[in-house]
Structure 1
Amino acid sequence: MTSNQTPETPPTYHTESKIFLKTAGGGQSEHTAKTYHTGLDYFYTYLAETCDWRDDTPIAELTPEMFQEFPPWLLKQTYRRSERSAPAQLAESTRSLYMLAATRFLRFLVLRKRVPRFDYAEYDRIKEELSKATNVKSRPVAQKIPGPEVVAALVHAAEQPPAIKEDAAPGYRRRLMLAWRRNLALVHALRSSGMRVGEVVTLKRGDLDYDRQGAWVTGKGRKTRFVAFDDEAWEAIAAYLTNRQDDTLLVNVAQHPLFCRHDRSARTDRRLPISVRTVQNVIKELSEQANIAGRFNLSPHSLRHFFANGLLQFTGNLALVQEALGHNDPKTTRGYTRIRVEEISASVRAMSD
């Protein structure tokens, strides 16, 4: 280094985390980037409070002990939902996500060779230790699958037509009736096919298979598969589409979304698709109307669990259920179903008779 050169500023927490969030940490989605950002903010606050970490502290000074002591510190942290609310402890799932952000940030630093006290083996050890410290146990499968009585109550609520005043404007009356028929068809479609909510909202009329009474959906990994509808679902979809009168529009009917918006701001000269949030809100509102919200936390994905478990019980064919759900790994499918030990035992005995 000559007399005119200045020593290079060593990388710091802020410079490295900024790169991480723009690349490895934030490349998945806006929500993921936001979660990682908050988690790394917590980790920096922890370092500042307990390790006398400063803005200009080189990132190379991170040690395994600093990561190991993060979980107990995080356990003591609280937040306020609003200025008037009392402090509440961070949820276990939230702490787990923040620890995941710190762990992936560490991996990022190891790969960039920014932390000399860590090699990849040490990273694996820390990762496993933190994973155990923040492990969030998933709910038992039985708690994810709504019972037949829950789904029946949901369908019953969806079947109730809206209360419309006699002097309501024709346009308003038509929107309410179309939304009602759409929601009924939507509930039946989810219940009888096991589709993901993201698949439902992207369906077009041209995806319907009238010969097989189903539809061709594009799922994860852009993979296409066939889903079937039972008679109730097919009749509800047909009634909804008939009342929509799409053939009065200039656009090719096959290009219209299968499930459309019918709110006041929706255009009348074209059909706009509904969003995932709309589907979630429909299930939530119907759950409240059916008085099942307090008994079961029902969501569109709950109906996927319901379908998978019912199909497996009816067919006993896990491979068939895997194909119907669009799963690559049968282990994933087993997470959607409830297989009783008694049924396995009875089946083994029956085979030997």
Structure 2
Amino acid sequence: MKSPVRRIRKIKTTIPVNETYSDDEMERLRDSCTEIRDLAMIDLLSSTGMRVGELVLLNREDIDFNERECIVLGKGDKERIVYFDARTKLHLQEYLNSRKDDNPALFVGFRAPHERLEIGGVEVRIRKLGRNIGVKKCHPHKFRRTMATVAIDKGMPIEQVLKLLGHEKIDTTLHYAMVKQSNVKNAHRKYIG
């Protein structure tokens, strides 16, 4: 018996362009934070490019302030080191110094008993911050795409971006990073004429 399905051709679909935060949106998001926790969370997500699931699993002891790095547990229970910038270090330290609880979790809820934040809690908070300043489609994963795009735009080799994001294949990393058209134009002038 021959399968009648084999004659059916694949339908070509358009691939949606994954959006990133503009510099303006990032600054407005930071400025709109009334809580130091939210500011520290946004800075950590945007400078490390970690997944929101990795963020909520972090404990205080996982942060190395001297080296500005932390170990995250990624997909498939794989550990990797991610790095953060000086601004993130300052905001994280300020947030941790402001806390009165003894929960080992890095990010906890505002109200007692100060339980560990969960993925849904982070998503709701970031969506609310975005709504307050009029940024559409504001969610934690967009920070990851933005970090990858900025890194590639500034000339970081794709292999290193792959390592930072914890990807196995370069194809996955390429889906994240949107190469800006202006950079393609400049590269064309530089290499071709």
Tell me which interval the TM-score lies in, with the shorter structure as reference length: 0.7 to 0.9
2:4 corresponds to 1:153: no
- CA separation of 1:185 and 1:341: change in aligned 2, threshold 3 A: closer
2:90 to 232, 235, 257: 235
The residue identity in structure 2 corresponding to 1:262 is: F
- CA separation of 1:347 and 1:279: change in aligned 2, threshold 3 A: same
- CA separation of 1:261 and 1:136: change in aligned 2, threshold 3 A: farther
2:58 corresponds to 1:203: yes
C-alpha separation between the residues in 1 aligned to 2:46 and 2:87? 10
Aligned to 1:140: 17
Aligned to 1:190: 45
Deviation per residue, 1:258-281 (Å, 9 max, x gap): 101222xx32xxx52101111011
Computed over aligned residues only, the root mean square deviation of the Cα atoms, in angstroms, reads 2.5
Aligned to 1:50: none
C-alpha separation between the residues in 1 aligned to 2:15 and 2:107? 32
C-alpha separation between the residues in 2 aligned to 1:352 and 1:336? 26
Aligned length: 193
Aligned to 1:330: 170
Q: Provide the TM-score with structure 2 as the length reference.
A: 0.87
Aligned to 2:190: 350
Name structure 1 gaps, 5 residues minimum. 1-116, 162-179
SS at match of 2:154: helix
C-alpha separation between the residues in 1 aligned to 2:68 and 2:74? 19
Deviation per residue, 1:213-233 (Å, 9 max, x gap): 121101011111111111111
Q: Once the 2 structures are TM-superposed, how far is the Cα of residue 297 of structure 1 from its aligned partner?
A: 1.1
Moved segments of 4+, more than 2 Å: 122-126, 135-138, 340-353
Aligned to 1:289: 132
2:116 corresponds to 1:259: no
Which structure's relative contact order is higher, taking Cα pairs within 8 Å and 6+ residues apart? 2
C-alpha separation between the residues in 1 aligned to 2:96 and 2:161? 29
Q: Provide the TM-score with structure 1 as the length reference.
A: 0.50
C-alpha separation between the residues in 2 aligned to 1:136 and 1:244? 49
2:160 corresponds to 1:317: no
Aligned to 1:34: none
Aligned to 2:121: 278
SS at match of 1:315: coil
The residue identity in structure 1 corresponding to 2:98 is: N
Q: Once the 2 structures are TM-superposed, how far is the Cα of residue 343 of structure 1 from its aligned partner?
A: 3.3
Deviation per residue, 1:117-141 (Å, 9 max, x gap): 67xxx38738x65x63xx7644213
Aligned to 2:78: 223
Query: Does structure 1 conserve the Cα–Cα contact (< 8 Å) formed by 2:72 and 2:79?
Result: yes
C-alpha separation between the residues in 2 aligned to 1:123 and 1:152? 56
2:6 to 103, 114, 125: 125
SS at match of 1:201: helix
Aligned to 1:20: none
Q: Once the 2 structures are TM-superposed, how far is the Cα of residue 349 of structure 1 from its aligned partner?
A: 5.1
C-alpha separation between the residues in 2 aligned to 1:342 and 1:235? 33
Deviation per residue, 1:37-82 (Å, 9 max, x gap): xxxxxxxxxxxxxxxxxxxxxxxxxxxxxxxxxxxxxxxxxxxxxx
